[in-house]
Amino acid sequence: MSPSERPALPEALRAEFTELVRHYPERQAALIPALHRCQEELGGWLTPETLEACAEFFGLEPVEVFGVASFYPMFHLRPVGRHVVGVCHNISCALRGAEDILRETCRVTGSKPGGVSADGRFSVVRLECQGACTAAPMLVLDGAFHENLATADVARVLGGAR
Amino acid sequence: MSTEPTKITSPTKTALPPKITSPLKREIYLLSRVGLRDSHTLPVYKAHGGYAALEQVLTGGFTPAQVIQIVKDSGLRGRGGAGFSTGLKWSFMPDPAKDPRPRYLAVNADESEPGTCKDRVLMEQDPHGLVEGILLACFAMRVKTAYVYVRGEYRLSHERVAAAVAEARAAGLVGAKILGTDFACDIWMHKGAGAYICGEETGLMESLEGKRGHPRPKPPFPAGAGLWRQPTTVNNVETLANVPFVITRGADWFKSLGTPKSPGNVLIGISGHVERPGVYELPLGISARTVLEECAGGVWKGRKLKAWIPGGSSTGLLPAAKIDVAMDHDSIREAGSMLGTGAMIMLDETACTVRAMQVIARFYEHESCGQCSQCREGTEWLHQIFARIERGQGRMEDIELLSSLANGMAPAKTICALADAAAIPTHAIVKNFRAELEEHVRLGRCPLDVERHAAELTDLVPEGAHA
Ligand SMILES: Cc1cc2nc3c(=O)[nH]c(=O)nc-3n(C[C@H](O)[C@H](O)[C@H](O)COP(=O)(O)O)c2cc1C
Ligand code: FES
ipTM here: 0.96
Chain B nearest-CA distance from A34, in A, is 10
Average pLDDT over residues B431-442: 98
pLDDT in tens, B385-422: 999 999 999 999 999 999 999 999 999 999 999 999 99
Ligand 1 nearest-atom number relative to CA B86? 25
User: Which amino acid belongs to residue B356?
Assistant: A
- Does B48 share its domain with B192? yes
Ligand 2 nearest-atom number relative to CA A89? 2
User: Which amino acid belongs to residue B139?
Assistant: F
The domain spanning residue B269 has which CATH number? 3.10.20.600
Backbone angles phi, psi at A116, to 5 degrees: -125, 140
- Does B289 share its domain with B199? no
Backbone angles phi, psi at A130, to 5 degrees: -100, 5
A39 touches chain B (CB under 8 A): no
Q: What is the pTM of this model?
A: 0.94
CB A140 within 8 A of CB A130: yes
For chain A, give every residue range classified as CATH 3.40.30.10.
83-159
Residue B195 has pLDDT above 60, yes or no: yes
Residue A162's pLDDT band, with cuts at 50, 70 and 90, is confident
Is residue B315 included in any domain, yes or no? yes
Secondary element (H or E) of residue B270: strand B265-272
Which of B313, B332, B348 is the endpoint of a domain? B348
Which residue in the set B153, B210, B272 is minimally distant from A32, CB to CB? B210
Look at the domain A83-159 and name its fold: Glutaredoxin (3.40.30)
For chain A, give every residue range classified as CATH 1.10.10.1590.
11-71
- Does B146 share its domain with B35? yes
Is residue B59 included in any domain, yes or no? yes
Residue B238 has pLDDT above 50, yes or no: yes
Tell me the CA–centroid distance for residue B188 and ligand 2, in Å. Answer: 27
Interface of B with A in 168-207 (CB under 8 A): 186, 188, 190-196, 207
Is residue B90 included in any domain, yes or no? yes
pLDDT in tens, B305-334: 999 999 999 999 999 999 999 999 999 999
Is residue B232 included in any domain, yes or no? yes
Q: Decide if B114 and A92 are in contact by the 8 Å CB cutoff.
A: yes
- Does B153 share its domain with B207? yes
Residue B464 has pLDDT above 50, yes or no: no
Which residue in the set A30, A91, A117 is minimally distant from B313, CB to CB? A91
Domain holding B445, by residue range, is 353-452
| Orientation angle between helical segments B127-141 and B155-170, nearest 10 degrees | 60
Residue B14's pLDDT band, with cuts at 50, 70 and 90, is very low
- Residue from B219, B261, B213 nearest B368 by CA: B213
B78 lines ligand 1 (CB under 6 A): yes
Best to test chain A binding among B105, B144, B211, B458 (most A CBs inside 10 Å): B211
- Does B311 share its domain with B399? no
Average pLDDT over residues B264-282: 97
Average pLDDT, chain A: 95
Give how far Cα B392 sits from Cα of A33, B69, B355, B428, Å: 45, 57, 11, 21
CB B347 within 8 A of CB B300: no
pLDDT of residue A51: 98
Residue B21's pLDDT band, with cuts at 50, 70 and 90, is very low
Which of B255, B278, B306 is the endpoint of a domain? B255
Strands (E), A62-104: 83-88
Q: How are strands ordered across the β-sheet holding B265-272?
A: B278-283, B265-272, B343-348, B305-309, B318-319
Is residue B157 included in any domain, yes or no? yes
Choice between B358 and B452, residue whose per-residue pLDDT is larger: B358
- Does B179 share its domain with B283? no
pLDDT of residue B467: 26
pLDDT of residue B461: 38
Helix (H, G, I), strand (E, B) or coil at B388: helix
pLDDT in tens, B79-107: 999 999 999 999 999 999 999 999 999 99
CA B387 to the chain's CA centroid: 27
- Does B206 share its domain with B276? no
A47 touches chain B (CB under 8 A): no
CB B159 within 8 A of CB B12: no
- Does B171 share its domain with B152? yes
Average pLDDT over residues B159-172: 98
Tell me the CA–centroid distance for residue B406 and ligand 1, in Å. Answer: 21
pLDDT of residue B452: 59
- In total, how many domains does chain B have? 3
Helix (H, G, I), strand (E, B) or coil at A79: coil
Task: Please give the CATH superfamily to which domain A11-71 belongs.
Answer: NADH-quinone oxidoreductase subunit E (1.10.10.1590)
